[in-house]
Structure 1
Amino acid sequence: MSDALPAATCPRCGGGFACGAASGPAAHCDCFGIRLSDAQRAAIAGQWPGRCLCMNCLRDLGATPVLTSPSSGVRA
């Protein structure tokens, strides 16, 4: 059995990264430590559903407030 993490391509920047979350039910990935608001998580999930992003993109998106319309119900 290989200890290598599955290779992935970030859909936002196109860069490669190793996805620890994809390595099984007891997996751990560095992205688990990234703090995102509910609005940021919703925006990311809406734009890239079911996809993992690289750490650089997650950090970048985490530093950017999410702008929402008053009727969206999502707050930053």
Structure 2
Amino acid sequence: MSAATPPPALDDRCPRCGQPFHCGAQEAHCDCFELKLGEALRQQLAQQYSRCLCIACLRQLQAEQGHAAG
């Protein structure tokens, strides 16, 4: 029986909401890889923030982007 893998450490803080989270972008996989963000939103986020945002904020922005487009 193998031991369960511990969850990744919450080693960063989201610059948008301030919540702690783990960014897996430098690892094999991060939850954000699955999100579809428009190019305009990606550029806006790159200009506004110098670090990664948490998945909750990214999902919220993705939803807002979808409402604005529809």
Q: Does 1:7 align with 2:11?
A: yes
Secondary structure of the residue aligned to 1:64 is: helix
- Total equivalences in the alignment: 60
Rate the CA distance shift 1:22–1:5 in 2: closer, same or farther, 3 A: farther
One-letter identity of the residue aligned with 1:13: C
**1:33 has 2:34 as partner:** yes
1:19 aligned partner? 23
Residue in structure 1 matched with residue 63 of structure 2 by the alignment: 63
In 2, the alpha carbon distance for the partners of 1:10 and 1:22 equals: 16
| Aligned twin of 1:54 | 54
Following superposition, the deviation at residue 5 of structure 1 comes to 4.7
Shift of 1:6: 6.0
Identical aligned pairs, as a percentage?
Answer: 49
Large movers: runs of 4+ above 3 Å? 3-6
* TM-score, normalised via structure 2 length: 0.73
